[in-house]
Structure 1
Amino acid sequence: MTNTYPATPGVLLAGGLARRMGGGDKPMREIGGTTILARVIARIAPQCDGLVLNANGDPARFASFALPVIADDVADFPGPLAGILAGREWTAANRPDVTWMLSAAGDCPFLPRDLVSRLHHARIAENAQLAVASSAGQSHPVIGLWDVALRHELRDALVNEGIRKVGRWTARYRLATVEWPADPVDPFFNTNTMDDIAEAERLALLDDRG
């Protein structure tokens, strides 16, 4: 099936420190015998024109996925905005033909299969500069569509203003928010704790049947 939206590379954010799991890489935990990251890739790859993994530390641990791995270039682990910036810088340098980039959390194993198309349609309909996902009335701003040209403004906000919260930065722009149903499985469920991993095992049975 041909996509009806512009070519859109994706960056999968896997740079978190996983403190609530005792450290390590959350996306490398397994659900139903498959890593969370493999599930994310399976959902997002058909929607995107190439994927990049944002992660800090030794990139070799992700070698089996055969994806470019890019680290944050803003010091002190400033959070997901740094990964979004790294993805936009990589896209500008390696894909100068594209205008839009998707970011998605690397610890969300049930991402919707219509994520990119619905975000694009919303930003066009609302003449928005950015578009983010929402479910159950809660915005998920790290899962969004970004204008690559705004990377310079994002760097300035991170480096010179010390902005860390994604929502604080997106509030500066015309923002489209797209709602997805959370029943029977919230597509933006993320695995922050070991209890979340156990819940994800249960949800995977529902999701795999859907």
Structure 2
Amino acid sequence: MKPTREHLTGLVLAGGRGMRMGGVDKGLQTLHGEPLAAHVLKRLAPQCGALLISANRHPDTYAALGAPFGATIVADTLPGFPGPLAGLLAGLRTARTAYVLSAPCDTPGLPADLAARLAHAMDANQADVATATTADAHGEVSLHPVFALLRTTLADDLAAFLDAGERKVRAWYARHKTVEVTFTDERAFYNINSLQELSDLERA
């Protein structure tokens, strides 16, 4: 069965340390007067039946940010900021839907058809994971592994993978049937890694 909106929980990954931004909480940095995470919530909300925010710092601030969207805050169950897979695990464990659609908090222009295209590919290929890629004018492919649609039944396997000390997103995907979906607009996946990049986008 092809996943539709009511089967999806959107997960904003905002639990990182923001090291390339000097350790600030990336999702709370503002663009055009709104926190980056709010931009992502606005893009995900029409595509998902429920929303979660993975946040390991400032939970009250994120709760206020997510309140207009009915978003619930989840935190890593593993210590030491082990990376996006820990945020995915928290989302998979918390979601009450069959699927989770994840996106990082620093991509304010994510595609409006992200869920629809990943769901179509997942259904057509009977996959467990669908993830996004882009290709430039020269055909060079860029992978965007944390833009992903995942079955929540993968939670136990992900927990075992993390318990074994593994942290690489693509290595975990390789354990499951994964389909890659190519999007044509690279700009939609532009992620902000530094305060300078944020300043540049503010002026654009």
Please give the TM-score of this superposition, normalised by the length of structure 2: 0.89
- Per the alignment, residue 132 of structure 1 pairs with 131
CA shift, 1:134, in A, is: 1.1
Give the alignment of 1:160-171 within 5 angstroms: 161-171=164-174
149-158 vs 3-12, which moves further = 3-12
Amino acid at match of 2:10: G
Q: After the TM superposition, list the runs of 4 or more consecutive aligned residues in structure 1 that deviate by more than 6 angstroms.
A: none
CA shift, 1:139, in A, is: 1.2
CA distance in 1, matches of 2:73, 2:5: 25
Cα separation, partners in 2 of 1:139 and 1:150, compared to 1, 3 Å: same
1:191 aligns with 2:192: yes
188-197 vs 109-118, which moves further = 188-197
Q: Is contact 2:98-2:153 (8 Å) kept?
A: yes
- Decide which of 122, 130, 152 is 1:148's aligned counterpart: 152
CA distance in 2, matches of 1:124, 1:43: 22
CA distance in 1, matches of 2:40, 2:53: 11
Secondary structure at the counterpart of residue 189 of structure 2: coil
Secondary structure at the counterpart of residue 15 of structure 1: coil
CA distance in 2, matches of 1:126, 1:6: 21
- Per the alignment, residue 32 of structure 1 pairs with 32
Amino acid at match of 2:188: P
CA shift, 1:53, in A, is: 0.6
Q: Is contact 1:5-1:120 (8 Å) kept?
A: no
Cα separation, partners in 2 of 1:4 and 1:69, compared to 1, 3 Å: closer
CA shift, 1:6, in A, is: 5.4
Cα-to-partner distance string for 1:34-65 (whole Å, 9 max, x where unaligned): 22111111110000011011001341122322
Amino acid at match of 2:93: E
CA distance in 1, matches of 2:78, 2:57: 14
- Per the alignment, residue 60 of structure 1 pairs with 60
**RMSD in angstroms over aligned alpha carbons?**
1.6
Cα separation, partners in 2 of 1:5 and 1:54, compared to 1, 3 Å: closer
1:178 aligns with 2:177: no
| Structure 1: gaps of 5 or more residues | 204-210
- Per the alignment, residue 82 of structure 2 pairs with 78
CA shift, 1:5, in A, is: 5.5
- Per the alignment, residue 88 of structure 1 pairs with 92
1:69 aligns with 2:73: yes
CA distance in 2, matches of 1:181, 1:153: 32
CA distance in 2, matches of 1:179, 1:196: 25
Q: Is contact 2:5-2:47 (8 Å) kept?
A: no
Give the alignment of 1:34-49 within 5 angstroms: 34-49=34-49
Please give the TM-score of this superposition, normalised by the length of structure 1: 0.86
Amino acid at match of 2:181: V
- Per the alignment, residue 208 of structure 1 pairs with none
Residues matched between the structures, number:
193
- Per the alignment, residue 206 of structure 1 pairs with none
